[in-house]
Amino acid sequence: MSTIPYKIYLEESEMPKYWYNLRADMKQKPAPLLNPGTHRPMTAAELSGVFCEELVKQELDNDTREYPIPQEILSFYRMYRPSPLVRAYCLEEKLKTPAKIYYKFEGNNTSGSHKLNSAVAQAYYAKQQGLKGVTTETGAGQWGTALSMACSYFGVYGASVTPSPSETTQVGKKILSEHPGTTGSLGCAISEAVEVAVSNPGYRYVLGSVLNQVLLHQSVIGVETKIAMDKYGIRPDIIIGCAGGGSNLGGLIAPFMGEKLRGERDYRFIAVEPASCPSLTRGVYAYDFADTGMVCPLAKMYTLGSDFIPAPNHAGGLRYHGMSPILSELYDQGMLEAVSVPQTSVFDAAETFARVEGILPAPESSHAIKVALDEAIRCRETGEEKTILFGLTGTGYFDLVAYEKYHNGLMDDYVPTDAELEQYRARLPRI
């Protein structure tokens, strides 16, 4: 067997030529999106008023296992893909662990994150449909930056940037009246972006996470990772990813989870979320609005309640109230684990990683780093030589203010109480 290099780069000719649709191998499919008015499954015609037509097809398709990646998207991918699979030799030495640690680094592009993988696909399909432009939400900025780059490349108008909630939309005004002084959430921004899209002819809404179509595009991460690991005879025991809406985690684990679902191999999957926004570990599996303004379809997912807004001191990203329907169904089936971690421990892990591996990680990614370190230390204590794979979704250069707060001792670990979460759960739709 070849010596495993610090960074494994595939040749461009080895890049995946297809996206893998995990739903095709799920015996129990994710529950369908429901019309909030009729509580009946959303039709393609209904969804086409909000999303691009080709993306609607991908959203509803539970059966096609492989989607060929259009040549125009493959050409764009070659600007920054294949991305490296890194063997963290220095981190292993620092921890004095027998574990073998790998991470898939998705930050080597303009957006600084994995978000470009889906942004380019959604911008491409908008261009193919002849749309004037698209609207979206963004949190820390990686998705917004990625979509801006993709839209610029394909000549699709994005939009001006508006802080959410705002006074520019009806739903924004409603949220501000009900939550004075709120710092907002992704759920708020989604509501406003959808309102703008449906109010302007020739526009559609695009989303950076959660939806089936987004996890489909992000499967390029996992398929590429598996090709690299198979090339060197590497088999991970534990696969770890941060979990906000689920796009990175779903993309990373996709081909490995497919093997598990087909009974070919077993892996341990761990979703890591912030203790201040714990949708999997403390949410309920139920139909809920995908947005705070309650204008989007109902999705069955692990949710804290669509009007849940993380505390203002929450600095680590992953602010969404729910979880991808695909990952929610897999979690409900017991196919993956979930843990929540406080944000100060996340930033502590981020600093450890940055000092040793030389990359300042995004706070979102650092949730996965935290648990990867925990698992590697556990191997040190037990003597087990497990192989750990985690997703390094991007860099933290958009988040220097959060790092400054951590260094200045201004960051704390607020965790919502059971009583607080029960208030949101009590307002879930009755289906």
Determine how many CB atoms are found less than 10 A away from the CB of residue 7. 11
Largest CA distance in the chain: 64
CB proximity list for 1: less than 8 A, separation 6 or greater: 232, 233
pLDDT of residue 46: 96
Q: What is the 3-state secondary structure (H, E, C) of the chain?
A: CCCCCCEECCCHHHCCCEEECHHHHCCCCCCCCECCCCCCECCHHHHCCCCCHHHHHHHHCCCCCEEECCHHHHHHHCCCCCCCEEECHHHHHHHCCCCEEEEEECCCCCCCECCHHHHHHHHHHHHHCCCCEEECCCCCCHHHHHHHHHHHHHCCECCCCCCCCCCCCHHHHHHHHHCCCCCCCHHHHHHHHHHHHHHCCCEEECCCCCCHHHHHHHHHHHHHHHHHHHHCCCCCCEEEEECCCCHHHHHHHHHHHHHHHCCCCCCEEEEEEECCCCHHHHCEEEEEECCCCCCCCEEEEEECCCCCCCCCCCCCCCCCCECCHHHHHHHHCCCCEEEEECHHHHHHHHHHHHHHHCCCECHHHHHHHHHHHHHHHHHHHHCCCCEEEEEECEECCCCHHHHHHHHCCCCCCCCCCHHHHHHHHCCCCCC
* Distance separating alpha carbons of residues 362 and 116, to the nearest angstrom: 15
Taking phi first (over 0 means left), then psi (-120 to 50 degrees means alpha), and beta for anything else, what does residue 406 get? alpha
pLDDT of residue 204: 95
Whether the ω angle into residue 30 lies within 30 degrees of 0, i.e. cis, is no
pLDDT of residue 161: 66
**What does the angle CA 192 – CA 193 – CA 195 come to, to the nearest 5 degrees?**
65
Tokens for 171? 């739903």
Query: In the chain, which residues have pLDDT < 50?
Result: 1
Give the domains, in start order, of the chain with CATH numbers: 7-19+68-114+211-425 (3.40.50.1100)
The β-bridge partners of 318 are: none
Q: Which of 340, 391, 337 is nearest to 88 (CA)?
A: 391
* Distance separating alpha carbons of residues 322 and 285, to the nearest angstrom: 9
Q: How much is the CA Rg of the chain, to the nearest whole Å? A: 20
Identify the residue whose tokens are 């695909």: 326
pLDDT of residue 247: 96
- List phi, psi (to 5°) of 223: -65, -45
pLDDT of residue 183: 75
pLDDT of residue 162: 75
Average pLDDT of the chain, as a whole number = 94
pLDDT of residue 315: 65
pLDDT of residue 1: 44
Tens of pLDDT along 233-268? 999 999 999 999 999 999 999 999 999 999 999 999
* Distance separating alpha carbons of residues 91 and 354, to the nearest angstrom: 10
Identity of the amino acid at 347? F
Tens of pLDDT along 109-146? 988 999 999 999 999 999 999 999 999 988 778 899 99
